[in-house]
Structure 1
């Protein structure tokens, strides 16, 4: 919906590439002023900002590792300082380290928990201080947070299951303020993290009903809908965009 987010300000964590970059571009195309955070890759972040600006949108990139509590809080404050408000938070930053659980190190487990779950809690808590009625909190979870059939994603799927319950619980607490909280759960999506041509692709593709990987734009379309005015009665839900993986 063109201009459905006119006058809104959105913060997308991990917005420099993959699903996050597609979400940032789509929200900007729908009229939002967009802030993206990135951990290390300033070049990719700047490419996303330039793409949005050349299409007539407004965007800013802020370096903030989602596992760094102070940086995440500062990014939220900077968003409000720059654009005067915060209407949409998309908790997109996250990672998977595909590995059999027995062989997964504690460092790898901690990294996934800190990035995929703790970072979301911190960003959401900071954002809620600024959100008014009509606000949107959107998680990018995973279809494996509800049902996991691909080996090697045990710890990762546990973090995404935690995101699912956080979404449901928080929706009850902030509903009275007119803020919705939803969890968009992608299935296998063609990104650098999970390429459609990668080693892990064959079993994942086989689990879908559509027999293909999804695109980042297909995830961004659902996020944009949940961020927009037509989704105002949708909250506390886990919406899969997984090509039928969990069917």
Structure 2
């Protein structure tokens, strides 16, 4: 496995090619909206050619690709529903149609569950673990031959993995805690190849998934802002900037870390 980084296909403008991630290929799972879209757009702006993964919403994924291209970047959509048998194989099969290797993998795709412990059934529990924990594990396992030396793996965790402020999200928090353990062990396994592996843990971010809590619940926005030491609700770009740092050469000496991107919500 060599250390050469290349995109496997031409794309983007001279402006994108001049960025700190020029010539590199990235895959962002769950990139059709929310945090994933923010990360995909930021990595593309830094010059990477980005595989925009989606589960079911092809229209949203193509919209993300279109936005990246309109801004002068390069991207392509990759469809595969996670949490089902063969999901990793399906994802990589689609990816291989567009690129011949990978430099940056961002495991962002995830689903949540908000029920009291006594109401969570086995099917719901298994589903959230299948998408949030099992899928990233096998995406990495089957992607090792594609991931170039000197590459980057960033797993999107959650502040809830270390702060029990929402006990009705216990199953979700458990999946993210497991992902954090995977991050630490994987950093040791891949360190000899110069590959860094880190977790980024957002707090409450203004996305479609949090719309009901932040926008539809009276006082929800103000309460969420008050939790943060910075006094505001986070945006996808706030998380994307952290991921971009870890994906760049500037983040080369950071690995096996859990990066708090909650805006001070855990203080």
State TM-score, norm by structure 1.
0.94
Of 170, 179, 190, 1:154 maps to 170
Indicate the residue corresponding to 1:101 in structure 2.
Answer: 117
Indicate the residue corresponding to 2:8 in structure 1.
Answer: none
Indicate the residue corresponding to 2:247 in structure 1.
Answer: 227
Indicate the residue corresponding to 1:45 in structure 2.
Answer: 61
3-state SS of 1:83 partner:
coil
3-state SS of 1:244 partner:
coil
Distance in 2 (alpha carbons) for counterparts of 1:221 and 1:120: 21
3-state SS of 1:152 partner:
helix
- 2:196 pairs with 1:180: yes
Tell me, yes or no, if the aligned pair for 2:100 and 2:146 is still in contact at 8 Å: no
Deviation of the 1:105 alpha carbon: 2.1
Indicate the residue corresponding to 1:74 in structure 2.
Answer: 90
Which runs of structure 2 are paired with 1:94-243 in the superposition (5 Å)?
94-195=110-211, 196-199=214-217, 204-243=224-263
User: In structure 2, do the counterparts of structure 1 residues 174 and 207 end up closer, same or farther at CA, with 3 Å as the change threshold?
Assistant: same
RMSD of equivalent CA atoms:
1.7
Segment of structure 1 superposing worse, 212-221 or 81-90: 81-90
- Structure 1: gaps of 5 or more residues: none
Distance in 1 (alpha carbons) for counterparts of 2:55 and 2:221: 26
User: In structure 2, do the counterparts of structure 1 residues 69 and 175 end up closer, same or farther at CA, with 3 Å as the change threshold?
Assistant: farther
- Structure 2: gaps of 5 or more residues: 1-15
Aligned length: 247
- 2:97 pairs with 1:92: no
Q: Which has the larger radius of gyration?
A: 2
Give runs of ≥4 in structure 1 deviating > 3 Å.
198-206
Deviation of the 1:111 alpha carbon: 1.4
Deviation of the 1:202 alpha carbon: 6.1
User: In structure 2, do the counterparts of structure 1 residues 90 and 105 end up closer, same or farther at CA, with 3 Å as the change threshold?
Assistant: same
3-state SS of 2:106 partner:
strand
Distance in 2 (alpha carbons) for counterparts of 1:239 and 1:69: 31
Deviation of the 1:73 alpha carbon: 2.4
Deviation of the 1:81 alpha carbon: 4.2
Segment of structure 1 superposing worse, 196-205 or 148-157: 196-205
Indicate the residue corresponding to 1:62 in structure 2.
Answer: 78
State TM-score, norm by structure 2.
0.87
3-state SS of 2:209 partner:
coil
Distance in 1 (alpha carbons) for counterparts of 2:26 and 2:42: 11
